[in-house]
Amino acid sequence: MAGGTGLRFWPLARNGRPKQFLDLFGTGKTFLQSTFDRFAKFIQRENILVVTVAKYKKLVQDQLPQLNSENLLLEPYSRNTAPCIAYSTYSILKRNSNAVMVITPSDHLISDEDLFSKSVLDAMDYATKNEVLMTLGIVPDKPDTNYGYIQVQGGEGAHSKDKPIKMKTFTEKPDASLAEVFFKSGEFFWNSGIYIWQAHTICEEMEKYSPEITGLFKGWDVALGSTSEQVFLERAYTDCAKISIDYAVMEKTGRAWVYPARFKWSDIDNWESIYKNFPDKDGKGTALRCYKKISDGNKGDLIISSGRKKLVAVSGLENYVVIDTDDVLLICPRDDKKIKEFTAGLGMPDFDEFR
């Protein structure tokens, strides 16, 4: 899934080039490219599909020239994950009614890729034999408030298990005290947003719990893959609600299971997550990426300059974000809430050229 706006990373991310198409860590690969390469190690390339919004078509083609053209699915508008998954599921069912699907966002940071591959393949094997809706549940290593949590049945000791466990409850991002309770209980996992299931199983559950979405896709078996596909999608997406797959199905279904996963994982959704996962920090915890720098008296900052051959000189800042691009300079405390409040004014017409 590569259709999100990712504008929390403004000014590096823009309307025309959101987060999934950026290389925020300076690895030489964008999030989208890293995700494709990660799966191409154990899934045949002809079986990898990318779903994005139509306006990002060229970005995907430029970054993934190896992607088969018929494997690029274009949504007219961004409508969150449930409509995206409905569209991709029907597209896959038309190709192979027995398909097993892996659904993944394109903006995750994952280490231990061999362990990741094994986790996905084991979960796929289970989903092939059982009509379940599987989520990779990340075994937490701390009480983090930036992630949603999944509680499983069976109580304490779930983190040590190496087989799928039936899901009990979903909880959105908790406050610090509740996250501490979840972590200590041993029966909660971080919700990775990576799903594995048979295509016809998710189709059945969406039709059962989200008929307001699936009803808009009636006639998909004729329209998808035909010359009328885009007209069909335009009509369906115009009336489609913005809703996540968790709200639409996973919190309602009795088929939800969790596969315990232990690879290092991070959902990169704010500047704080960039800072925490930045590969190199100096002795005072400042993460800095630029052509040349003079840095003195700084502590706990995230400083990124995308300007070519630019000297960055910063002194005396503590826990700040400094993002420098060709046309925008952002300087703000390294606090996600403050950054969102500070940049809320970007919606004004005066700033159209900078969004």
- Domain harbouring 23, CATH code: 3.90.550.10
Would the pLDDT of 201 be above 80?
A: yes
In a domain, 60, yes or no: yes
Number of H helices, E strands in the chain: 12, 16
What integer pLDDT is reported at residue 2 of this predicted model? 96
Per-residue confidence band for 265, with pLDDT thresholds at 50, 70 and 90 = very high
Q: How far apart are CA 59 and CA 162, in angstroms?
A: 39
The answer on pLDDT for 246 being more than 80 is: yes
Closest by CA position to 75, among listed 217, 253, 262 = 217
State the pLDDT at residue 295.
87
Q: Retrieve residue 121's tokens.
A: 């393949």
Asked whether residue 274 is assigned to any structural domain, the reply reads no
Indicate the average pLDDT of the chain: 93
Structure tokens given for 262: 């232990």
> Hey, what are 41's tokens?
């190690």
Cα–Cα distance measured from residue 196 to residue 198, given in angstroms and rounded to the nearest whole number: 7
* Same domain (yes/no): 56, 127: yes
- pTM over the 0.85 mark: yes
Of residues 65 and 155, the one with the higher pLDDT is 65
Q: Which domain range does residue 117 map to?
A: 7-269
Same domain, 132 and 232: yes
> How far apart, in whole angstroms, are the C-alpha atoms of residue 278 and residue 293?
17
Query: 78 and 49 in one domain?
Result: yes
Which stretch of 45-59, 125-139, 296-310 has the lowest confidence by average pLDDT? Answer: 296-310
Helix (H) or strand (E) holding 313: strand 311-315
Using the 3D structure, point to which of 269, 295, 312 is the last residue of a domain: 269
Question: How far is Cα 159 from Cα 149, in angstroms, rounded to an integer?
Answer: 13
Where residue 229 falls among pLDDT bands split at 50, 70, 90?
very high
Question: Would you give the distance in Å from CA 189 to the centre of its chain?
Answer: 17
Structural domain count of the chain = 2
Summarised one tens digit per residue, pLDDT across range 70-101 is: 999 999 999 999 999 999 999 999 999 999 99
Q: Which of 15-29, 267-281, 336-350 has the lowest mean pLDDT?
A: 336-350
Residue 60 has pLDDT above 80, yes or no: yes
Strand 302-305 with 320-324, pairing: parallel
> What tens digit of pLDDT does each residue of 6-15 get?
678 999 999 8
Residue 180 lies in a domain: yes
Do 311 and 252 lie in one domain? The reply is: no
Query: Do residue 299 and residue 201 come from a single domain?
Result: no
Phi, psi at residue 234, to the nearest 5°? -60, -45
Regarding whether 343 and 200 lie in a shared domain, the answer is no
- The answer to whether residues 76 and 209 belong to one domain is yes
pLDDT at 245 exceeding the cut of 90 = yes
What pLDDT is stored for residue 314 in this prediction?
Answer: 93
Asked if pLDDT for residue 130 goes beyond 90, the answer is yes
Higher pLDDT: 254 or 291? It is 254
Lowest mean pLDDT among 36-40, 240-244, 268-272: 268-272
Task: Report the alpha-carbon distance of residue 164 to residue 127 in Å, rounded.
Answer: 10
The residue from 269, 287, 305 where one domain ends is 269
Q: How far apart are CA 345 and CA 340, in angstroms?
A: 9
- Residue 332: burial class (beta carbons within 10 Å; 0-12, 13-18, 19+): middle
Residues 95/23, Cβ–Cβ less than 8 Å: no
